[in-house]
Amino acid sequence: MNFIPYGKQTISQEDIDSVINTLKSDFLTTGPKVKEFEDEFCKKIGVEYCVAVSNGTAALHLASLCLLKKNDKVLTTPNSFLATSNSIIYVGAKPIFVDICEDGNIDLDACEKMIKEDSSIKAIYAVHFSGKPVNQEKLKALKEKYKIKILEDCAHSIGASFNGTNAGSCENSDCSIFSFHPVKHMTTGEGGAITTNSKEIFEKLLSLRNHGMIKNSSMKPWEYEMQELGFNYRITDIACALGLSQLKKLDSFVTRRKELAKNYEKAFFNTKIKPLYPFDENSSYHLYVVRVDFESLNISKEELFLKMREKNIGLQYHYIPINKQPYYKQLGYGNEIIPMMDKYYDETLSLPLYPSLSNEEQVYIIKTIKEVLSE
Ligand SMILES: *Cc1c(COP(=O)(O)O)cnc(C)c1O
């Protein structure tokens, strides 16, 4: 058995042809493919505006520049990739790490308590962890009641929905961000996007993506004007050509991920391996996370990782609590009282999950982890 990673891209001949056609065209960057990709992405998600950028972290940075001011306090989750809270720090605002629920998502009831007590809390950065959307009705209630800003980090959740609300459609948020890193549902190599229903935010994002530079029809052809300090966070036409062809297969990718998730759930029924949450049709299953009560077993979480690696299976632990990272500790974080997150990190692991994972490979993973845990 070849090494099975926890996640990887699925590339077809169509994807390759799409990229080659763009390489042969007049534009390698900032040409027709970027706009075409943005338009198709809007249609897919059901949102007014999309700005595609160089990666998901750039998307978070630009969204934070639009939503936050210096010293704003922002509630966010310790159970995410570093970039979510880093982007809050990029703009001089202050992340506050809130505990999580049983399903790995930020605890929005705890958020409400904190907002009631502290009016300097200006925003919530929620991640739809593993592909399972946070409760949209709660987001809506928080937005209406407290007028706070909401960002949805949809890096795990393209194709997910909550009671008919698509993740990233910004029905109950100001902005959503996406990542097209190869390990996510669809890829552009490196790439990301911000979606919003606000024209004002959309226009600011366009300017910030390109050095804060503006050109319009009242200017002379060679003129441009810099109105604010922006960046070069542009995405290439080559990347968007790949994105357009991947987008066509997104539904089938999500369907296959759900199929594999169902297989895992069935295979682990009545064993010591518990799914993080019961199979959820609304989740787009970026990750398949299981809980194991290591205290009742003869093996530690570290030993399991290494033994599975010996058998050519790549596990991953999503995520090391962000507040425990050395950089964050040096800023004074790390002593938050978040018992659910601590327990979560002791007990959980992600199993391989990607569209091209074969049934045979999955059977091998299931058999091997059961064997290793019962040794
Ligand atoms: C992948 C990811 C990002 C960052 O995306 P990049 O494209 O790698 O910069 C942000 N948030 C979450 C939750 C992610 O999983």
- Note the pLDDT of residue 373: 95
Residue 6 lies in a domain: no
Residue 164 lies in a domain: yes
**Last-in-domain residue among 217, 248, 279:** 248
Minimal-distance CA residue to ligand 1 atom 6? 56
Across the chain, mean pLDDT equals: 97
- Closest to 59 in 3D by CA, of 186, 212, 226, 234: 234
CATH number at 335 reads 3.90.1150.10
Residue 305 lies in a domain: yes
Ligand 1: residue of 6, 154, 179 to mutate (most ligand atoms within 8 A of CB) is 179
Minimal-distance CA residue to ligand 1 atom 4? 56
Asked whether residue 181 falls in the same domain as residue 45, the answer is yes
- Note the pLDDT of residue 59: 98
Q: How far is the CA of 339 from the centre of ligand 1 (A)?
A: 25
Asked whether residue 258 falls in the same domain as residue 203, the answer is no
Minimal-distance CA residue to ligand 1 atom 2? 155
Number of domains in the chain: 2
**Looking at residues 14-21, what average pLDDT do you find?**
98
Residues ≥6 apart with Cβ < 8 Å to 110 = 98, 99
Q: Which helix (H) or strand (E) holds 19?
A: helix 13-23
Q: Are 237 and 25 in contact (CB under 8 A)?
A: yes
- Note the pLDDT of residue 375: 80
**Looking at residues 196-211, what average pLDDT do you find?**
98
Nearest atom (ligand 1) to Cα of 55: 7
Q: Tell me the CA distances in angstroms from 30 to 36, 57, 195, 214, 240, one per residue in order.
A: 11, 19, 18, 15, 10
Asked whether residue 286 falls in the same domain as residue 159, the answer is no
The pTM (predicted TM-score) of the whole model is 0.97
**Looking at residues 169-175, what average pLDDT do you find?**
98
- Note the pLDDT of residue 369: 98
Asked whether residue 134 falls in the same domain as residue 70, the answer is yes
Nearest atom (ligand 1) to Cα of 80: 13
Q: How far is the CA of 129 from the centre of ligand 1 (A)?
A: 11
Q: How far is the CA of 80 from the centre of ligand 1 (A)?
A: 9
Asked whether residue 284 falls in the same domain as residue 342, the answer is yes
- The rounded distance, in Å, linking the Cα atoms of 38 and 45 is 11
- Closest to 175 in 3D by CA, of 132, 218, 208, 126: 126
Angle at 319 between CA 316 and CA 320, to 5 degrees: 110
Q: How far is the CA of 113 from the centre of ligand 1 (A)?
A: 28
Q: How far is the CA of 38 from the centre of ligand 1 (A)?
A: 19
- Note the pLDDT of residue 1: 81
Asked whether residue 237 falls in the same domain as residue 274, the answer is no
- The rounded distance, in Å, linking the Cα atoms of 350 and 267 is 15
**Looking at residues 316-345, what average pLDDT do you find?**
97
- Note the pLDDT of residue 10: 98
Asked whether residue 229 falls in the same domain as residue 305, the answer is no
Chain mean position to CA 301: 25
- Note the pLDDT of residue 216: 87
Pocket residues: Cβ below 6 A from ligand 1: 55-57, 80-81, 83-84, 127, 153, 155-156, 179, 181, 192
- Residue 71 lies in domain: 13-248
- Note the pLDDT of residue 215: 87
Residue 68 lies in a domain: yes
- The rounded distance, in Å, linking the Cα atoms of 85 and 79 is 10
Nearest atom (ligand 1) to Cα of 179: 7
Per-residue pLDDT tens for 208-258? 999 999 888 899 999 999 999 999 999 999 999 999 999 999 999 999 999
> 137-155 as b/e, with b when 16 or more CB fall inside 10 Å?
ebbeebbeeeebbbbbbbb
Asked whether residue 338 falls in the same domain as residue 212, the answer is no
Per-residue pLDDT tens for 31-67? 999 999 999 999 999 999 999 999 999 999 999 999 9
Asked whether residue 218 falls in the same domain as residue 267, the answer is no
CATH number at 23 reads 3.40.640.10
Residue 2 lies in a domain: no
| Residue-wise DSSP of 324-361 | GSHHHHHTT-S----HHHHHHHHHEEEEP--TT--HHH
Asked whether residue 212 falls in the same domain as residue 256, the answer is no
Residue 8 lies in a domain: no
Residue 337 lies in a domain: yes
Q: Which helix (H) or strand (E) holds 258?
A: helix 250-267
Task: Give me the sign of the Cα torsion angle 5, 59, 112, 128.
Answer: negative
Asked whether residue 312 falls in the same domain as residue 221, the answer is no
Asked whether residue 176 falls in the same domain as residue 240, the answer is yes
Q: Are 203 and 222 in contact (CB under 8 A)?
A: no
